[in-house]
Amino acid sequence: MDKAAIIAQAKDYIANEGDASFKKEVEDLLVKEDWKELEDRFYRNLEFGTGGLRGVIGGGYNRMNTLVVKRATQGLATYVKKASPEKAAAGKLAAVIAYDSRHYSPEFAEAAALILAANGIKTYLFSSLRPTPELSYAVRKLGADTGIVVTASHNPAKYNGYKAYWNDGAQVIAPHDTGIIDEVNAVTSIKEITRLEAIAKGLLEIIDKTIDEPYQAMVRSRLFRPDLIKAKGGDVKIVYTPLHGTGAMHVEAVLGSLGLKVITVPEQREGNGDFPTVSFPNPEEAAALEMALALGKKEGADVVMATDPDADRLGIAVPDGKGGFALLTGNQLGVLLADYIFLSLKEAGKLPKKPAMVNTIVTTGMQKRVAASYGAECIECLTGFKWIADVMRKSDAGEIDTSIVFGTEESYGYLVENEVRDKDGVSAAALTAEMTLYWRSQGKGLLDRLDDLYKINGYWRELGISKYFQGPEGPAIMNGIMAEYRKNPPKTLGGIEVEKVRDIQESVWKYAGKTEPVDLPKSDVLQFFLKDGTVVSARPSGTEPKIKFYASCCAEAGAGGLEAAKAEAGRKLDAISKDIRQVIGN
């Protein structure tokens, strides 16, 4: 990108950006003639992808700022009106907006609300931080046509984002995703209105308790053993951290109302967009739970829990029997919750005629075996919780002949209720607390139950590898890696023969010189199915400039026992990891 083009883009941005601080950032860069930084801010427009926006906060078209949010919202508003012309003409369109603790989240949320209001769409806005799952719940409860949550999930503090939802409470998928993107890209002018005008016209309404209280009641209603909790809930001690995000309000209220002892890490309880006590506010990262684990050890906790900033993900750690705590992976907690849900429904005589759970194509294969042990199906879908929600929608509509009782993905996402159509760290925390109490009443900890399941279903272990490719050249590097894999797929990984390849972008299975169609929506994912049953997947992230690899393998707990199976699985994954890292240079 030459200097003239950079200067033209920068001046256009300055002329249109209403926020003085973002405008000044770009003005100062022009004065300094910092062409490298300016190029990074203007070499492209921050892409409104299939999940919305996510990027570094700052001035420029390749940053998260008020102008970019306003343009995205104008495009969303235009699409919503075109999708429901009769409701638009009658002035009956509605939207809901929530936001988390990140910098500029309140400002971005209000900017979006006023754009929607200016377009004649009544907008319900929370007055302060609320979790993503509550936004999904609110869309469904209020019968809204769309929803927005301002969050960058578990990204570092310099990021913010914007996720768009449809009228079913799920993140948008085809055809709405591409339809919204087209409208966003076509925006040439933005309709605006002031807050006072929006309120006076009945186009902006603040909602808090009208949604908070029903949401909490719904979470409690999804528990299976209220009598057990009432009788012995005080016996379980929980240490919890919201990691400076939105979770404390609901997790404390729900668990506290059940009589469970919840001790929240005080330094991390309040929302803070700097996330001062962690490098990454991500419950997948062991480092993010250091303070919670220290408090858990001090308090003798039965379980340590953490939610990410928008409280849609849940991570836990449990006593390891050696004076410390073991962190469970998203796959392991997903297995335990699936087992507990099926077990509880079966014991209560409430297991549906054709029960099913949903997980993604990169989630552990162990869940399929656990589901089968209860006579249930495990339906797979693309990565991303919107696809799990889509399977639930199809079940509701009778398009598939199953009853969905649980949805989960490997990246610490769980959904245990029907009233929400996105992962829900609050309800997952409540059910995990009950599950901990139940197995304790049976004389077991969660690790004991997990070992029981390994002995029955084989020992499953997973591997995740990610590498970031920042800057203008990043997408080309990732595309090159995927293109090379497609052109020359590996014959072995970790010394194990690759038997089949599933190319979801090309919608084709390839094996033994044959091809078969893939029954999934197109997505840039390659999967290698090894002779021993191991599955290795590669996909560029849809929200960050990185490529991600997943591997899931199983070793049967045979004559050598569980420890031998664990060692075998470890050897396989170490060899596979070495092969992957040679390709990505990490």
Q: Tens digits of per-residue pLDDT, 236-247?
A: 999 999 999 999
What's the pLDDT tens digit per position in 545-583?
789 999 999 998 877 899 999 999 999 999 999 999 988
Q: Closest Cα to residue 318, out of 236, 410, 417, 411?
A: 236
pLDDT at 470: 80
pLDDT at 543: 65
Answer yes or no: is pLDDT of 370 > 90.
Answer: yes
User: Which positions are catalytic?
Assistant: 153
For residue 170, name the pLDDT band (cuts at 50, 70, 90): very high
How many other CB atoms are found less than 10 A from the CB of residue 496? 19
Token pair of 338 as six digits: 């699936």
Average of per-residue pLDDT across 397-426: 97
pLDDT at 584: 85
Token pair of 525 as six digits: 């994912």
Q: How far apart are CA 361 and CA 384, in angstroms?
A: 10
What's the pLDDT tens digit per position in 81-94?
999 999 999 999 99
Sheet of strand 159-166: strand arrangement = 52-56, 159-166, 146-150, 94-99, 122-125, 204-206
Tokens 């796959």 sit on residue: 331
Token pair of 44 as six digits: 């492209």
Q: How far apart are CA 214 and CA 420, in angstroms?
A: 12
What's the pLDDT tens digit per position in 25-45?
999 999 999 999 999 999 999
For residue 61, name the pLDDT band (cuts at 50, 70, 90): very high
Average of per-residue pLDDT across 292-321: 97
DSSP string, 148-215: EEE--TTS-TTEEEEEEEETTSSB--TTHHHHHHHHHHT--------HHHHHHTT-EEE-SHHHHHHH
What's the pLDDT tens digit per position in 498-541?
999 999 999 999 988 899 999 999 999 999 999 999 999 999 88
Least confident segment among 102-111, 473-482, 531-540: 473-482
Token pair of 291 as six digits: 């303070």
Q: Closest Cα to residue 78, out of 121, 48, 114, 45?
A: 121
Token pair of 154 as six digits: 């578990």
Average of per-residue pLDDT across 138-164: 96
Answer yes or no: is pLDDT of 542 > 70.
Answer: no
Average of per-residue pLDDT across 131-149: 98
The SS3 of residue 307 is strand
pLDDT at 585: 79
Tokens 């719904």 sit on residue: 218
Q: Are 330 and 316 in contact (CB under 8 A)?
A: no
Q: Which residues contact 97 (CB under 8 A, 6 or more apart)?
A: 109, 112, 113, 116, 123, 124, 125, 126, 135, 147, 148, 149, 150
pTM for this prediction:
0.94
CA angle 542, 78, 101 (to 5 degrees): 50
What's the pLDDT tens digit per position in 245-257?
999 999 999 999 9
